[in-house]
Amino acid sequence: MIVEADRNASVSVENTFEFGVLISQVNENMVEISSRYEVGDEHIAPSVVTKLGQEASVSIGNKSFSVLVEKPD
C-alpha cells in the first residue's frame, strides 16, 4: 500500500476486515503511524512513532501488522 503523508488510506474486504492508516511527519526523521483495524465486532486503533526506513510492528492479542515508511524519491 502506498500512502501519502497526512492523507487517510484504507483497504477493505467486504464482510472480512478493514485496515486504515494515516502517516504524519513528526520531524525530518520520524513519523507517527495512526491505524485502525476492524474485523467483525473487534476494533483496534494503535498508533506508533518510528524512524523513517525502520519497520514498526504492532501486536494486540492474535492481531498484528508491520509498517515500513520511506521518503519518496
CA distance 12 to 37: 10
How, if at all, do strands 30-39 and 47-51 pair?
A: antiparallel
The DSSP annotation for 26-40 comes to -SSSEEEEEEEEEET
How confident is the model over 4-62, as pLDDT tens digits?
Answer: 888 889 999 987 889 999 999 999 999 999 999 888 888 889 999 999 999 998 887 78
pLDDT attached to residue 54: 92
